[in-house]
Amino acid sequence: MVAPLKVGIAGLGTVGAEVLRLIESRGRVLTARSGRPVRVVAVTARSKAKKRDVDLDGIAWARDPQALAENPDVDCLVELMGGAGDPALSAIEAALKSGKSVVTANKALIAKHGVRLAQAAEKHGGAFNYEAAVGAAIPIVKTLREGLAATGIDRVYGILNGTCNYILTRMEREGLSFAECLKDAQRLGYAEADPSFDVDGHDTAQKLAILASLAFGTKVAQSAVHVEGISSIAPEDLRAAADLGYRVKLLGVAVKTAKGIEQRVHPTMVPKSSSIAQVMDVTNAVTIDGEGIPPITLVGPGAGGAATASAVVADIADIARGVRVHPFGRPVDRLAQIEKAPMERHEGGYYIRLMARDLPGTAATIATRLAEQKISIESIVQRHANGGEPARAGKTPVPVLLITYATHEDAVYRALQAVQRDKVITGRPQVIRIEKN
């Protein structure tokens, strides 16, 4: 009989406990599909005394992650502690240097140290798998790395954070403010007590940096990602988007341009007819535009214990089968340094909302400043702020909504700076990029 793959799990939180249960309950299926049994032989966590709804009988308890990684009875280390540094980093490095394979769901670690860890895996012969780090149960890593190995990728983009998608969905459906929806998301457990990592776009940026590496054969570079969050989005932006045939989503977008790889995270207007626009609530989705094929969109749960554990166990099954692939789709020495495309040269359409002073010449001034930057307007809508009745001239600012044809980002901001200097608008202009199909 083939010897079992002996697994050690570092971290017994929601995901770690679910991995343990899944391996136990699906043991026969795993054996049948992998060609060998999979057994958890050792675990570790911050507290051994904590009560857990898992059966640890017959499983050794390691004193710390490093000891687990160095345990000669462990063939595969599963790291589910999180964090971009130690103890996760040192434990994974120790496991890889001893020839073991590693499975992790740790996006922060991969975004910061992924290339270094992939190099260690190559050098010492172990696998380094991380499907659960991006999109949880959505098999986006394997799709880019293996399923589309012969396909040139032009663009990969998606909804990579369920918290933000939930907030934007509620804002659109119910006309609520960002603050109201965030408070409700925290109450329901979709958002952390400190939600900034999610709502400011940094969680999406880490995932996008990994996807860009897989799509374009570059080294992971989170520092090359332009990041904006969703806190500036107002209900009136969502209403305007709906009227104009769009929906607002927080997207991570990586696209190959003549000036380099553009990596950006920001609120985006997408056509209502697009697949990505139909993805609501906490669901995630990723679309891949490849050469010679129609766009592929993968949709599914992007977080949660069961979804993440499913991807972790799938990675373990690959190791049990003997599957070894380069973690980022090619040898580390063939990964290119990222050529960051400057955002000011980003080209596309824009939605602009201005609070214009209701005075003679205001519209002409705005039009002149846009024309000076060679910005063409696709549509313009003027709305009265008090439900449709004209405001008293000069007293109440009037919302003016603009949709531009494709133009450069620096041109948009030069025009808006000039409009602000002219003092024909109040407050800060709202600008949202438009992503076409």
List all residues 6 or more positions away from 179 whose beta carbon is below 8 Å from its beta carbon.
none
What Cα–Cα distance (Å) separates residue 184 from each residue in 171, 181, 187? 11, 5, 5
The H or E element containing residue 164 is: helix 162-174
The H or E element containing residue 351 is: strand 347-356
The H or E element containing residue 257 is: strand 246-257
> In the chain, helix, strand, coil percent, each to 5?
40, 25, 35
Q: Is residue 212 a contact partner of residue 263, using CB atoms and an 8 Å limit?
A: yes
Contacts 24+ apart (CB under 8 A), 387-393: 391/358, 392/358, 393/358, 393/359
Residue 207 falls in the annotated catalytic set: yes
Location of structure tokens 């690959």: 318
The Cα–Cα gap between 261 and 156 comes to 11
CA angle 77, 79, 82 (to 5 degrees): 165
The Cα–Cα gap between 156 and 286 comes to 7
Q: How many CB atoms lie within 10 A of CB 324?
A: 16
SS3 407: strand
Q: Which of 6, 100, 107, 207 is catalytic?
A: 207
Token couple for 141: 């890593």
DSSP 430: E
The Cα–Cα gap between 161 and 167 comes to 10
> Is the alpha carbon torsion for 280, 283, 284, 289 positive or negative?
negative
DSSP 76-114: EEEE-S--SSTTHHHHHHHHHHTT-EEEE--HHHHHHHH
Location of structure tokens 């004209």: 390
Residues carrying an active site annotation: 207
